[in-house]
Amino acid sequence: MQADVPAGGMTPGLWRVALARLLADRSALVAGALLLLVLLACAAAPLYAERMAHADPFRSNISGQVMLDGQLRDVIEASTEGLGLGQTPIGPTWQPSAYLLGADNQGRDVAARLLYGGRASLLIACGATLLSLSLGALLGIVAGYFGGVVDWLLSRVLDVLWAFPVYLLAISLSIVTIGSGLHLGPLRIEADSLWLPALIIGLVYLPYVARPVRAQALALRRSDFVHAAIGLGVPTHRILRVDILPNVATTLIVFVPLMMALNMLTESALSFLSIGVQAPNASWGTIIQDGLSLLYTRPMVALAPGVAIVITVVALNLLGDALRDALDPRATFRVKGGGA
């Protein structure tokens, strides 16, 4: 992709063509609509919990009762299956004002927790993506442009991170920090903070961004327009800002939805293992873990966040594919040239 991009990155005309191609892609429009719907629903979590469900999604309600069809029912009911032993949460009522998706084993509203959990999952995915893209772009550009000892040192650090399986490294870092949080000099992140899993996931995926950016920076360092800028005495910081960064920007933009999807899956896995998001917060992964014991009696507790994860991740991947096609300069020029 890079060889066809002019010096200084994509021109305004190419950006307009890319936008037109993106808007003409039906899969991108559907994915964008799904993501917008998920974002709006999660943003409305406090409104739904307070005004419609009238429930606190973070407080147990084992002895609570709810009015349904003129009858008062317990939120946690006596089991009617098998020997009739134990208790079962109320199932989905499909009424927005009263346990739309049912309750979990603590009597908490699943629908309200689903929306609040989505806010946490999306926040962590966005934070981890921002960290991995910004730091990865910085390390990749510095290593690729300066080369030599700088490239060797940074590449070795990235190789060490790359050598660990993603989930093994994420689990190891989470277990180490889950007890007391992360305290490194002025950096202090408590164990129950959402920024802790975001930091861990962002660091885990750092080489997946830095390595391709480094490869692009190496190619750009040998390009004619960079050599011309160096020959004219242009300051290094200006070359990096004007000639290098705009040319890797398209790659970083394509990485955004793809990295968000990966980060969301990783966060859900860590939270399912109880080493991700900690109480009183909730995420889609923790809600699935809460519903594991109710899988045969109230499957909606685990099914709802699972479906939400699938919808969001698929939409992000479709959007990433559409962005990659729209920002491909070679495809842009083929369209302008009339086909093939």
CATH of residue 43? 1.10.3720.10
Q: Taking Cα atoms as reference points, which of 122, 101, 124, 131 lies closest to residue 35?
A: 122
User: Would you state the pLDDT for residue 338?
Assistant: 38
Averaged confidence pLDDT in the chain:
89
Q: 306-326, pLDDT tens digit by residue?
A: 999 999 999 999 999 999 888
Mean pLDDT throughout 105-109? 93
In percent, the amount of the chain with pLDDT more than 70 equals: 92
Q: Mind spelling out the 3-state secondary structure of the chain? A: CHHHCCCCCCCHHHHHHHHHHHHCCHHHHHHHHHHHHHHHHHHCHHHHHHHHHCCCCCCCCCCCEEEECCEEEECEEECCCCCCCCEEECCCCCCCCCCCCCECCCCCEHHHHHHHHHHHHHHHHHHHHHHHHHHHHHHHHHHHHHCHHHHHHHHHHHHHHHHCCHHHHHHHHHHHHCCCCEEECCEEECCCCCHHHHHHHHHHCHHHHHHHHHHHHHHHHCCHHHHHHHHCCCCHHHHHHHHHHHHHHHHHHHHHHHHHHHHHHHHHHHHHCCCCCCCCCCCHHHHHHHCHHHCCCCCHHHHHHHHHHHHHHHHHHHHHHHHHHHCCHHHHHHHHHCCC
pLDDT tens digit sequence for 145-184: 999 999 999 999 999 999 999 999 999 999 999 888 888 8
8 Å CB contact between 227 and 243? no
Q: Which domain holds residue 153?
A: 2-337
Give the confidence band of 8 by pLDDT, cuts at 50, 70, 90.
low
pLDDT number for residue 339 = 39
pTM given for the model: 0.90
**Does residue 336 carry a pLDDT above 70?**
no
Per-residue pLDDT, 69:
82
| % residues pLDDT > 90 (the chain) | 69
Domains held by the chain: number: 1
> Confidence band (pLDDT; 50, 70, 90) for 70?
confident
